[in-house]
Each structure stands twice: as C-alpha cells, then as structure tokens.
C-alpha cells in the first residue's frame, strides 16, 4: 500500500510540474527568439504582407549617410553646427514584428547597428528614472542644483537655479547657457539671427521647447548623480537583464569628457543632433 501511495505521489508531482512548465509564460532566451507563423498568432497573412510592403516603401528619401543628413538639415539652419560625435551610414528600412514574444515577420538588415537619433532620449530618461527608483534622486520635483557636487556649475546661474528634474525630463527647463560648445539658443533658433542671442526667457516649467542642449544638460546632471558612465548603468540595469546583445553603444562627444572621482568619464548625449547617441540594431530595440 505504501509503495502504491508513494508512486501515486511521484506521478502527481510529475504531472503538476509538467503542467506548470506548460503554463509558464514564454520568455525568449538571449539570441533565441522563437518564430511563429502569422496564422499561429492570429494575423491575416495578406494584410501583414501589405503592411510590410507599405513600411518598406515608406523609407526616408534622405541620404543614408547621417553626416550628410546633418549638413543638409541642422547645419543648414543653425550656427555652432560642428559635428562632435560619430555618424553612421544607415541601412535601408528594416523591422521585426513580435507578438507575445514570438517573431512573426522580419525584413531588411535587422542586425545592422544604426544611429537612433532622438530615440536615445528614451534610454536617457530610463537611467534618470532608475536613479529615482534607487533613491539617488529623492523626488523629481527636487531642484537639480541640489544634486550637483562642488565645482559643477550647471545650475548656478540665477535663471537656472529653480530647474527641477521634472523640468529637465519634460523639456520645460528653459536652461540657459553653453554646454560642449553649444549655446542653448543655437538649437533650432527662431526669429531673426540678430535676435537669437537675446531670446525670450521663461520661468522653468512654464514653456516647452525641444532642445538638445538642455537634454544634454540632463545627461550630464544624471552622470553626476550616478558617478558612473550612463551606458554602464544602462547595460547593468536594463540591457543585460533583458538579454540584449553586446553590440549596442552609446557614444558621447569628443569634448564631453569630465572628471568623476579621479577618472575620465564621457558624458553621453540624448540624441544624434551633433553626432553620437545610441547605436543599436532592431533586435536589441
């Protein structure tokens, strides 16, 4: 009787373990995304093909050489247009469609590592969010100035003293100054050139402006808080845990090196405005 009972218990445990394994949510291993047909994931094959064809046909007509794009866009309309970081020659439009963790479609050079330009801002705000999560930033309503060490004067000017982390994150800081050789007013200036340097001044938090100089100020401020390179923080806290490859890079500028605890560390930008930023492929994105 005891033997039969023991066997029954073993079989029950085995069946329960097998059922649990079957019901466990699927999560792809590193470099091993499983594939399903579109039909397996409930897609209409014809409509999916139509969408992919549309995506491929929607590729930008701009040159693939991003340095040339810079010269034709920002450099054509802005002073202080010198390139400070690397530029790449991008691949044609490519993509992956993933549904519930399964790859159902792929096209183009999806392993090509390319600049992501302002998508870099999502990585920057992530490391700022992590600083808050870990208690390095107590509250995003805090003044950024209170987190800067002696000798870092990013927020010392009277106009900048009331800037909070939230203002930086929302691009409403109206930070005034020059960083890495780029004055704040030189990014997408409006009005007459004679008026650029005497731009209207707004109270921090009251006026939105998409401005990469100010985004880069946030990156440098975050570096001072972490006291570690931001790409290293992103790697350890996000990219390694999710199983990303080792091919992505977050590049800074040739002149964006600072001293952190006796070590030279490169501050990274939040975009590719003057080069650099996040270089990554479609799989890691």
pLDDT tens digits along 240-282: 999 999 999 999 999 999 999 999 999 999 999 999 999 999 9
Domain edges within the chain: 30-114, 115-280
Cβ contact 28:34 at 8 Å: yes
Angle between helices 120-133 and 212-226 (to 10 degrees): 40
pLDDT, tens digit, 9 for 90 and up, residues 185-206:
999 998 899 999 999 999 999 9
Fold of the domain built from segment(s) 115-280: Beta-lactamase (3.40.710)
pLDDT, tens digit, 9 for 90 and up, residues 125-142:
999 999 999 999 999 999
Is the pLDDT at 2 greater than 70? The verdict is no
Q: Which two tokens stand for residue 265?
A: 């560390």
Taking residues 36-50, report their average pLDDT: 97
- pLDDT the model gives residue 23: 67
Rounded CA gap, 58 and 115, in Å? 18
Separate counts of helices (H) and strands (E) for the chain: 8, 9
Q: Which two tokens stand for residue 69?
A: 């794009």
């Amino acid at each position: 009787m005891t033997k039969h009972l023991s066997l029954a218990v073993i079989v029950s445990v085995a069946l329960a373990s097998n059922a649990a394994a079957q019901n466990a949510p699927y999560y792809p291993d590193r470099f091993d995304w499983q594939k399903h047909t579109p039909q397996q994931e409930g897609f209409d094959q014809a409509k999916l093909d139509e969408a992919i064809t549309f995506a491929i046909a929607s590729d930008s007509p701009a040159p693939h050489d991003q340095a040339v794009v810079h010269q034709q866009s920002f450099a054509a309309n802005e002073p202080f247009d010198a390139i400070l970081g690397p530029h790449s020659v991008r691949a044609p439009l490519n993509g992956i469609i993933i549904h519930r963790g399964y790859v159902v479609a792929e096209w183009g050079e999806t392993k090509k590592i390319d600049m992501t330009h302002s998508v870099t801002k999502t990585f920057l705000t992530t490391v700022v969010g992590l600083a808050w999560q870990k208690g390095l930033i107590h509250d995003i309503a805090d003044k950024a100035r209170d987190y800067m060490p002696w000798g870092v004067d990013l927020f010392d000017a009277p106009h900048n003293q009331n800037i909070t982390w939230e203002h930086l994150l929302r691009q409403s800081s109206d930070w005034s100054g020059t960083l890495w050789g780029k004055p704040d007013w030189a990014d997408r200036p409006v009005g007459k050139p004679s008026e650029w340097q005497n731009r209207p001044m707004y109270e921090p938090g009251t006026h939105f402006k998409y401005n990469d100089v100010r985004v880069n100020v946030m990156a440098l401020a975050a570096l001072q808080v972490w006291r570690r390179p931001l790409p290293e923080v992103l790697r350890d806290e996000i990219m390694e845990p999710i199983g990303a490859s080792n091919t992505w890079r977050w590049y800074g500028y040739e002149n964006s090196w600072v001293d952190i605890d006796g070590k030279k560390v490169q501050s990274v930008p939040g975009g590719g405005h003057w080069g650099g930023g996040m270089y990554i492929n479609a799989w890691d994105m």
